[in-house]
Amino acid sequence: MPITCPRCHSAKLRRSKRRSLVDYLVSAAGVLPWRCEKCEARFHARPVPFRFSLYAHCGLCGNPELQKIAPEHVPGASAFLGRLLGLPSLRCDPCRHKFFSIRPPLPEEHLAVQSSVD
Ligand SMILES: [Zn+2]
Ligand SMILES: [Zn+2]
């Protein structure tokens, strides 16, 4: 599941029923309503957000909401190369994956568009 709750970051989500005109309109664009099983937050998100593929995203879960971390915190053999090339070092909060990305991090204004809690 590439989507996590924007409020509590739980990955335990279920598809919410389309019940409003907005739900039908956004679903036409591939954005679906979801509900978090943990905190009951309802939000809209795209299962695989293609427009984020231009930007850095987690290779394990597809999450584009990444934290910038210090390069020395990235483990593994790729860390040496990433440091050498000066790539941005990022951390995915839901799955704790740390990595360097050759893509630029997602600008923050895009995050508000991706999901909205009501
Ligand atoms: Zn939640
Ligand atoms: Zn992840």
Q: How far is the CA of 79 from the centre of ligand 1 (A)?
A: 32
AA identity, residue 84: L
d(CA 97, CA 23): 32
d(CA 69, CA 108): 16
Q: How far is the CA of 3 from the centre of ligand 1 (A)?
A: 11
**Tens place of pLDDT per residue across the chain (118 aa):** 468 899 999 989 998 888 888 888 777 777 788 899 999 999 988 765 555 667 888 878 878 888 999 998 998 877 888 888 888 899 999 899 999 988 887 776 665 554 555 5
State the pLDDT at residue 42: 93
Torsion of CA 73, 79, 82, 88, to 10 degrees: -20
Where are the domains positioned within the chain?
A: 1-47, 54-112
DSSP per-residue codes, 63-89: ---EEE--GGG--STHHHHHHHHTPPE
